[in-house]
Amino acid sequence: MISMQLLTSGVIFGLSLGSIFFLMTIGLSLCFGLMRIISLDQLLYYSVGAYITFSVSALLGNIWLGVLAGAIVAGASALVVERIVFRRIYDRDLPFTMITSFGVLIGGVGVIKYFWGLVPRPVGEPIVARVDILGTDIPVYRLVIVAIAALVYIGIWLFLNRTIIGKAIRAGTEDVEHVEGLGINVYRLFTITFVIAGALSGLAGGLYAPLIMVDPNMGLDVLAFVFMVVIIGGLGSIKGTLISSFLVGQVVSIGSLVYAPLAQMAPFAIMLLILLIKPTGLFGSQMLKR
């Protein structure tokens, strides 16, 4: 029988883990929604964000500056990759772009190993305070992560629904040819989307770094969970990504309390069940070729 204190701790842990999953996978959803590519290289920017956070915090002694620098460098890295690689293959088939992005991820991991080595690196927690929730001491930093993810979701929603560029991106997810017909440079929209996605992935890595050991393979380690999140939520759906991120986060957290192997098995079982009922995911639409 799970005690109330353990259950409360597990729920908060699941919320913070789901928040990280959301920040990691929202870039995948944005890229697929507009460009119809599966950008697995977002996991590279996640790792870059974590390592830049480690380096800047070690140099300046301020983890928050490290997180900010990590998001900026990750966004800049995404810009370089988009210009050099993806700008040339947007018209190729989905499997080709997915394999290419995976190649970028593997190559990027090699670059990280070259500069930072193979030894995992620790990052100090920026907030050590704890708060009592239902008789359980909860780290404030985990609550901060949840709050940041909520602000990011609100910010993305406002950007897509209240700005001209955001509305153009949202229209492009429905019919990119129609947007081109209006005289809008869709490749500029692609670049903006890619940079935003990379920066958010870097933000995820920077925020998660204090809770884990920063490791060159950290992006590859979460690859299966990222796939589960985007498949359950539906490729291209921001709302679906948010809901599935917290769902997978809770399943992993609570499942590990009930029976440790459930943390790995249960998300796959849920994914298979949802795909049997709704093959496009909870909020996904039919895949259309760009």
pLDDT at 290: 46
Q: Do 153 and 242 touch, CB atoms closer than 8 A?
A: yes
In the chain, % of residues over pLDDT 70: 93
Residue 229 lies in a domain: no
Residue 281 lies in a domain: no
pLDDT at position 195 over 90: yes
Query: 225 is written with which tokens?
Result: 């969970």
Residue 54 lies in a domain: yes
pLDDT at position 216 over 70: yes
Could you give the number of structural domains in the chain? 1
Domain holding 118, by residue range, is 21-218
Banded model confidence at residue 289, pLDDT cuts 50, 70, 90: very low
Residue 32 lies in a domain: yes
> What sign does the dihedral 223-225-229-234 (CA atoms) show?
positive
CA distance 243 to 256: 20
Residue 284 lies in a domain: no
Residue 139 lies in a domain: yes
Residues pairing with 131 in the sheet? 138
Residue 117 lies in a domain: yes
pLDDT at 285: 58
Residue 224 lies in a domain: no
**Which residue type is seen at 213?**
M
DSSP assignment letter at 163:
S
Q: Do 21 and 249 touch, CB atoms closer than 8 A?
A: yes
> What sign does the dihedral 210-130-142-69 (CA atoms) show?
negative
Lowest mean pLDDT among 55-64, 149-158, 279-288: 279-288
